[in-house]
Amino acid sequence: MARPRRPIASVINASLTALALVGLFVVQAYFVGGAVGLMPAAHAEMPAFAAADVPDGPIMVDYCSEAVAAHDPGNPSGRTSTSVELDDAWFAGDSRRYHHGIATNCAVLSAVCNSESHFYSGSGDRIPYAERALSALGFSQVRTDSYELRSAVLDQLAALVNGSHDVAAYTFANRRIETARHGDAAAGGSSSSSPATGSSPEALVFVGIRGSYGAEWVSNFNLPDAASPDADHRGFKTAEQEVAQALERYLDEIGADPARTRILVTGHSRGGAIANLLAADLIDRADGPGALASADAIYAYTFAAPCPTKSADRGDNAYAGIFNIVNPSDLVPQLPLPAWGYGRYGTTVELPGYASTRFASSLALMQQAYQANTGLLDSYSPDALERLDSFDAQASQSLPTLESLLNPFGIFTAVRELLEVDLGLAFTSHCPDTYIAWMQAVDARALSFTQRA
């Protein structure tokens, strides 16, 4: 008796299932093998031209511009350049005073850390952006190993399969600095001209955290339980804990003395949110046995950071020196909505917004800086900007609680709110290029400061 023939659809489904299982096994094997060092992987090395001394004045560094990549098919990585500078004297004062020079250059360095993924992704220009920029600034012992299993397409599949997407890639580096301790540091730029009270070499440790990448986007929606009123965002906090542990090991490796160490933390977007939590963690530890640096030696400048915490203590004076630079026309720093109890540790520093009296005079300067960095013109529509600036207030009325999203009407409302904004302009307002240009075009007098974020 002849065996019944299986329907072709069943054969196809069985084949696809088998291929999927094999694929999952290969991804899992690759991830585990890479994690324990059995799989070969490229490591970015320090350039041969690494500087032995801190450069005297600004230098040009390369980074990858999303705007350039979107507009220039011949430059798919969006490689461009701008100037950057870190002066020892800037770190002579209390880190709890805003310093526009440090902030401006952190905007660039956060973009450089995002760009490092191009080296490890297995495609693109294979340029070690972080190693090149930081070594040219006089840093040594640059570490970017965390990018190794978190940049290629297969890495992202592995993260989804393993549920290991609550992570981030990060860059560490250090250099020796001579800090003449002054009684006070100028809030807008250079150090105070008051006489120095002492001078000694210290370690300046740089921590740059990459923004959202691949499967890490899933982590951005890993919010805390509604029953935990003071909890940090779970996806950001899990990533921050790994960075904190890695930083502790790095400081031990270089023999850093907490009493003579200054830590500079930065990041853009998701990287900014993780940097915000890391800086708060370092400050919390500063007075205890696990201190990595003193509280007045922790410099934190984040850009476009979403709100990573519901902590009622986030506005305490202890965190006032965590400076979170936000563009009022950027939707990301408005999420998760403040109406749901979310915010950032430290001080919110707003760039000139549409409603600002300085907006008209500052906009032309920002556009000049944007064009100089990217070769592109940046045009803003006043009506569209006004809608973006008020997005959180409008959304809070329509979606007063997080639970509002748990029903079809809430989802419909969220989609409607998003469709009412200019998404192209929203993208531009969030890009590192825009933050860099604004920071280069204005000074501290054009910014507004609010301690409770």
Structure token pair of residue 150 = 């978190």
Quick check: 203 and 176 in contact, CB under 8 A? yes
Indicate if the alpha-carbon torsion angle 343, 344, 347, 351 is positive or negative: negative
The single-letter DSSP state of residue 136 is H
Quick check: 281 and 295 in contact, CB under 8 A? no
Asked whether the predicted pLDDT for residue 400 surpasses 90, the reply is: no
pLDDT at site 181:
52
Higher pLDDT, 377 or 349: 349
pLDDT band at 34 (very low <50, low <70, confident <90, very high): very low
Higher pLDDT, 19 or 301: 301
Quick check: 80 and 65 in contact, CB under 8 A? yes
**Long-range Cβ pairs for the range 52-59 (8 Å, 24+):** 52/138, 53/138, 54/86, 54/88, 54/137, 54/138, 54/175, 54/177, 55/85, 55/136, 55/137, 55/138, 57/85, 58/83, 58/84, 58/85, 59/83, 59/84, 59/85, 59/136, 59/137
Structure token pair of residue 171 = 């860059």
Using DSSP, state whether 144 is helix, strand or coil: coil
pLDDT band at 151 (very low <50, low <70, confident <90, very high): low
**C-alpha torsion angle, residues 244, 247, 251, 252 (rounded to 10):** 70
Higher pLDDT, 45 or 265: 265
Over residues 318-376, the pLDDT tens digits come to 999 999 999 988 888 988 878 778 899 999 999 998 777 788 888 889 999 999 999 98
Quick check: 401 and 234 in contact, CB under 8 A? no
Asked whether the predicted pLDDT for residue 451 surpasses 60, the reply is: yes
The single-letter DSSP state of residue 261 is E
Asked whether the predicted pLDDT for residue 253 surpasses 50, the reply is: yes
pLDDT band at 183 (very low <50, low <70, confident <90, very high): very low
Q: pTM of the full predicted structure?
A: 0.83
Asked whether the predicted pLDDT for residue 308 surpasses 60, the reply is: yes
Higher pLDDT, 451 or 407: 451
Asked whether the predicted pLDDT for residue 191 surpasses 50, the reply is: no
pLDDT band at 24 (very low <50, low <70, confident <90, very high): very low
Q: Residue 195: how many CA atoms within 13 Å on its side-chain side?
A: 1
Over residues 119-132, the pLDDT tens digits come to 888 776 789 999 99
pLDDT at site 31:
44
The 10 Å CB-count burial string (b at 16+, else e) for 409-422 is ebeebeeebeeebb
Angstrom distance (rounded) from CA 151 to CA 156: 7
Angstrom distance (rounded) from CA 325 to CA 344: 11
Higher pLDDT, 21 or 148: 148
pLDDT at site 304:
96
